[in-house]
A and B are shown apart, each in its own frame.
Chain A
Amino acid sequence: MNALPTRKLEAWRYTDLRPLSALSFGAPPVAVAVPDLPELPFPRFVFLNGTLNPTLSTGFAYAKPFAAPPTFGSQPMAAINAEHVGGGINIEIPVGQDAGEALLVSQADGVTPFAYHPRHRVTLGQGAKFTLIEIDEGAGTYWQNAVFEIEVAEGAVFQHFRLQRESMEAFNTIFIHADIAAGASYEHFTLTLGAKLSRTEIEANLLGQNALAHLNAAQLLGGTQHGDFTTIIRHKAPNCPSRQTVKSVLAGRARGVFQGKIEVDQIAQKTDGYQMSQALLLSPDAEMDIKPELQIFADDVKCSHGATIGALDEEQVFYLRSRGIPEADARQILIRAFLEEALEPVTHDASKALFEEVLESWWGRQ
């Protein structure tokens, strides 16, 4: 197997994969448990331990047979994925087609540690539309190391909403590569709740004028969880907007990481890049590391990033209390408001409802 990256690599300075390399992962067992599937009325792909389950899955008009994976340069996790790749979805939305929604569920369940390496591909033809809702979940110790290859042709819109609620003993690493053509949009949102250690890494290339990337995320972590959201947005054409809101709520001894790089090529004049990262530390032992990075080679651009890390604002707590709201309630209101804002980028109603429900139950457990 290709070696796992170490913290000596700049891109991995905040995420230590030693807990992962300390385990030995076998091949995925045949799944027996029948998963509890979310009640969303969309065509679905259900993977059990990395294998597509034809009984639980429904047909989807635009699904193609699994395709041989391309390689993605130097990304170390993608290289490992390429060595072991088992299966994945391959969706091609034809030109001008509004394909509606589809659901991708990955469930894992096993007694001894195992790993699976799905390779998914989604391409949208010119002017096409598609929304994919992805849910990763499971029980036990396992490692899902996924790669997503995305191509969005001129004027097409791809919404990609991910709910990562893997088992608390699991590892979840995903590498997403998106090529976005002129006038096309890739709207991404990941809600990270699960896994002992997770990393979502996205590389989005804005290749034509007015291509748009929204790479948003929320991480709610507790215990000793480690969650890493790492992105690179490459502005390779003029007039492209990119937006990012990344919110982290950290309890217990959790550690959150956000690394967000915006690269603007010389040709990419009139780039409009905005990135905001906020973290709320709810316990004295939580830790947040943020590295927002700008690399700019064009002069007529508007790029900014902001980052804040801290506890709840005591002025706000006092304001609520002075209106009669008990302190504990006041704190709860403010945390929920913080999370509410994190969901703002999710413009798809069914997905938003799903995320809200999940937040509600996360909150109930705190």
Chain B
Amino acid sequence: MSMTTEATINELATQKYKYGFTTDIEMEEFPKGLSADIVRLISAKKGEPEWLLEWRLKAYEAWLKMEEPEWARIHHPPIDYDDLYYYAAPAKAQPKSLDEVDPELLKTYEKLGIPLHERAALAGVAVDAVFDSVSVATTFRDTLAKAGVIFSPISEAVREHPELVQKYLGSVVPVGDNYFTALNSAVFSDGSFVFIPKGVRCPMELSTYFRINARNTGQFERTLIIAEEGASVSYLEGCTAPMRDENQLHAAVVELVALDEAMIKYSTVQNWYPGDADGKGGIYNFVTKRGACRGKNSKISWTQVETGSAITWKYPSCILQGDGSVGEFYSVAVTNHFQQADTGTKMIHIGKNTSSTIISKGISAGRSNNTYRGLVKIMPGASGARNFTQCDSLLIGDQCGAHTVPYIENRNASAKVEHEATTSKIAEDQLFYCRSRGLSEEDAVGLIVNGFCKDVLKELPMEFAVEAQKLLAVSLEGSVG
């Protein structure tokens, strides 16, 4: 590791959650609680067509009949769904261009390290900024439009590309897939829509930056990415929220569709507010992410670095329908203090010669619990399917828990499935070696943890990899000594 990175980790190791500020801005909020009327209000606010309102109402009906899932290794006091705001947005009218965006908002994103003015923006990365329930800005839209790429808030896509949205929305994650997808489908307010037409390689990285600001507000975003035949795209998302004593709910749905020979790379750095050292506050993150490799030789790759949230419940999955399609899941999940993470993936092999790779690195510290939960399922028709899974857990301290719950189901004799899992701690001699070379114990832990996660971090786009390394160090602050 270079001197500069060491210095950065040094510096960061002494920081608290640095995204915990709030933005003071006039907000428009709907009344608390959820009802068919609130669903209608949201839909009307967005000027949605009738079919989408019907879809939302059906989802709401389904949600009323469902119960929160209980199989994950997480515990929390009951969520009062009537005590939440389901819609909160900056009061000023939606800006038409960046120049019209409220300066307070621009400042907020600048503080988060996401400058929205294109001249200051990260080179080669287009950003959709979602603030509470709405998208406040999307950069580089013209550049992308020239390539034929659609990158817009999903609410706008509903208006401008209704045929695409109607065709794909809910086609990967059915409305009633689970309790949280039904809830999301009823009340989702915004999110990103990406469409890469046939044969187009998206000329730049696409990124959505999610920010929860308002108090007592649930965030329910919806992301839909479609890559047509031979298209490819790399998409990243980042998430932060203010430090607040009460828990906040985030229930997103992400759907990816890859047609023949298409490639979607989806990277997440999830850094929602994790709560304080005593377990007070933090985001409840219940997310359903699923990609369908519909076409032959298509590929969907999930990379996630999960350091935030009081509770993380997410299983980015791949349905490998197309012959020769490829699914990947690379994950680092760090839990400290009282955080709880139950995360993993599902790889469903349906097509012939499909292959999947799962690399999961879980790090538990403090009094946290960190669970890998995954399913590899080989259907009878998936001749020649291959899966390789590696799940490693690292424990720091003796008050935390690390758990591995893989399900492996093989119904095709010509398929080959390999699974390995290990649990270990940071060896004393590794720590001693680092410290005898002058590193503090925390720096040494940061260094070793980064090494442990290397196989996953290298999958991240460059700009995110550095950020993620810093995050790991910050997340583990106070875990040793």
Asked if residues B414 and A301 are in contact (CB atoms below 8 Å), the reply is no
Residue in chain A with minimal CB distance to B71: A10
B335: min CB distance to chain A, Å: 13
Return chain B residues, CB-CB under 8 Å to A285: 380, 413
In-complex Cβ contact of B408 among A284, A297, A307, A311 (8 A): A307
Binds A, one of B135-143, B303-311, B399-407, B464-472: B399-407
A263: min CB distance to chain B, Å: 9
Question: How far is it, in angstroms, between the C-alpha of A297 and the C-alpha of B401 when the chains are bound?
Answer: 4
Binds A, one of B162-170, B212-220, B252-260, B416-424: B416-424
B334: min CB distance to chain A, Å: 15
Scan residues 294-344 of chain A and give those whose CB is less than 8 A from a CB of chain B: 294-311
Question: For the complex, is A356 an interface residue (Cβ under 8 Å from B)?
Answer: no
Question: How far is it, in angstroms, between the C-alpha of A289 and the C-alpha of B417 when the chains are bound?
Answer: 11
Question: For the complex, is A191 an interface residue (Cβ under 8 Å from B)?
Answer: no
Binds A, one of B3-11, B114-122, B389-397: B389-397
Return chain B residues, CB-CB under 8 Å to A282: 413
Question: For the complex, is A269 an interface residue (Cβ under 8 Å from B)?
Answer: yes
Asked if residues A294 and B393 are in contact (CB atoms below 8 Å), the reply is yes
Asked if residues A307 and B422 are in contact (CB atoms below 8 Å), the reply is no
Question: For the complex, is B245 an interface residue (Cβ under 8 Å from A)?
Answer: no
Asked if residues A283 and B404 are in contact (CB atoms below 8 Å), the reply is no
Asked if residues B415 and A298 are in contact (CB atoms below 8 Å), the reply is no
Return chain B residues, CB-CB under 8 Å to A310: 410, 413, 415-417
Return chain B residues, CB-CB under 8 Å to A269: 398
Are A284 and B395 also in contact (CB < 8 A) when A301-B423, A307-B419, A308-B417 are? Answer: no
Return chain A residues, CB-CB under 8 Å to B414: 284, 311
Question: For the complex, is A166 an interface residue (Cβ under 8 Å from B)?
Answer: no
Question: How far is it, in angstroms, between the C-alpha of A298 and the C-alpha of B397 when the chains are bound?
Answer: 8
Number of chain A residues whose Cβ lies closer than 8 Å to a Cβ of chain B: 35
Instruction: Fill in one digit per residue for B418-454: 1 if any A CB lies within 8 Å of its CB, else 0.
Output: 1111111100000000000000000000000000000
Residue in chain B with minimal CB distance to A306: B420
Number of chain B residues whose Cβ lies closer than 8 Å to a Cβ of chain A: 34
A300: min CB distance to chain B, Å: 5
B62: min CB distance to chain A, Å: 21
B429: min CB distance to chain A, Å: 13
Return chain B residues, CB-CB under 8 Å to A289: 407-410
Question: How far is it, in angstroms, between the C-alpha of A339 and the C-alpha of B417 when the chains are bound?
Answer: 19
Question: How far is it, in angstroms, between the C-alpha of A10 and the C-alpha of B72 when the chains are bound?
Answer: 12
In-complex Cβ contact of B393 among A281, A288, A292, A296 (8 A): A296
Asked if residues A309 and B415 are in contact (CB atoms below 8 Å), the reply is yes
Asked if residues A308 and B419 are in contact (CB atoms below 8 Å), the reply is yes
Asked if residues B410 and A299 are in contact (CB atoms below 8 Å), the reply is no
Question: How far is it, in angstroms, between the C-alpha of A300 and the C-alpha of B412 when the chains are bound?
Answer: 39
In-complex Cβ contact of A284 among B413, B418, B422, B425 (8 A): B413
Residue in A266, A285, A299, A307 whose Cβ sees the most chain B Cβ within 10 Å: A299
Asked if residues B408 and A304 are in contact (CB atoms below 8 Å), the reply is no
Asked if residues B398 and A266 are in contact (CB atoms below 8 Å), the reply is yes
Residue in chain B with minimal CB distance to A311: B413
Residue in chain A with minimal CB distance to B369: A297
Q: Can you list 9 A-B contacts with CB-CB less than 8 angstroms, sorted by A residue number?
A: A288-B408, A288-B409, A293-B406, A296-B401, A297-B401, A304-B423, A305-B420, A306-B421, A308-B418
A residues within 8 Å of B by Cβ? 10, 266, 269, 279, 281-311
The 3 closest A-B pairs by CB, nearest first: A281-B413, A310-B416, A299-B395
B residues within 8 Å of A by Cβ? 71, 380, 393, 395-425
In the complex, besides A290-B409, A305-B419, A307-B418, 17 extra interface pairs with C-beta distance below 8 angstroms are A284-B380, A285-B413, A287-B409, A288-B408, A289-B410, A291-B407, A292-B419, A293-B403, A293-B404, A293-B405, A299-B395, A300-B425, A303-B424, A308-B418, A309-B416, A310-B415, A311-B414
